[in-house]
């Protein structure tokens, strides 16, 4: 598998609960290299656009409120098979269903406040990375 990229956000709950360092440690220990990173906060419009695919879902309003309530860490990560390996590292959307040792099992609070985002395809990884970073911010 060629080296490629995924996009992640450490969500507001992870930041509020003091888990930035521990989560980044898990990510780098799993072999991901950081290609870009910033500490930032989504506006309502940013969150609505970022999660537009979910705009008909009953939890959409709650998701936008949650994702905008405080700062996040956004990053582009590089590794062989990055998208699938990162999804495996973070675990299931609902932490109650996430495998032992996964980031969501360790650090998520609930299905809504689940500590981390991971892109679900190479195509979305590229779109989501470009949403947050300009070419000169990616190394
Ligand atoms: P993500 O996009 O954040 O990596 O999460 P995911 O692929 O595992 O899950 P997805 O279905 O894409 O849902 C996006 C985010 O919406 C929130 N959510 N809340 N209350 C609920 O039933 C519910 N379901 C999803 C979560 O924050 C989820 O990560
Ligand atoms: Mg998703």
pLDDT tens for 101-112 read: 999 999 999 999
Cα→Cα distances 65→56, 60, 79, 110, Å? 15, 9, 32, 15
pLDDT in tens, the chain (139 residues): 567 999 999 999 999 999 999 999 999 999 999 999 999 999 999 999 999 999 999 999 999 999 999 999 999 999 999 999 999 999 999 999 999 999 999 999 999 999 999 999 999 999 999 999 999 999 9
State the distance from the centre of ligand 2 to the C-alpha of 120, rounded, in angstroms.
6
Whether 38 has a binding-site annotation, put simply, is: no
> Which of 63, 93, 94 has most ligand 1 atoms within 8 Å of its beta carbon, as the pocket-test mutant?
93
pLDDT at 3: 73
pLDDT at 2: 67
CA dist., res. 95 & res. 69, Å (int): 21
Provide the residue ranges of all domains of the chain, joining segments of one domain with +. 3-137
State the fold for domain 3-137. Alpha-Beta Plaits (3.30.70)
State the distance from the centre of ligand 1 to the C-alpha of 75, rounded, in angstroms.
18
Active-site annotation, residues: 117
Q: Count CB atoms within 10 A of the CB of residue 130.
A: 13
Query: Minimal CA–CA distance to 27: which of 111, 107, 110, 124?
Result: 107
DSSP class of residue 34?
E
pLDDT at 108: 97
Helix (H, G, I), strand (E, B) or coil at 62: helix
CA dist., res. 117 & res. 90, Å (int): 8
Judge if ipTM > 0.90.
yes
pLDDT at 1: 57
């Amino acid at each position: 598998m060629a080296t490629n990229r995924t996009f992640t956000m450490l969500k507001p709950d992870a930041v509020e609960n003091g888990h930035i360092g521990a989560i980044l440690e898990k990510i780098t220990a799993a072999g991901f290299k950081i290609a870009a990173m910033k500490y930032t906060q989504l506006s309502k419009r940013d969150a609505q656009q970022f999660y537009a695919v979910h705009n008909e879902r009953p939890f959409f309003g709650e998701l936008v409120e949650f994702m905008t309530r405080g700062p996040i860490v956004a990053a582009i990560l590089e590794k062989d098979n990055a998208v699938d390996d990162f999804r495996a590292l973070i675990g299931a959307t609902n932490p109650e269903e996430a495998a032992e040792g996964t980031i969501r099992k360790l650090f998520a609070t609930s299905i809504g406040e689940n500590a981390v985002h991971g892109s679900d395809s190479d195509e979305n990884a590229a779109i989501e990375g470009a949403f947050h970073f300009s070419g000169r911010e990616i190394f």
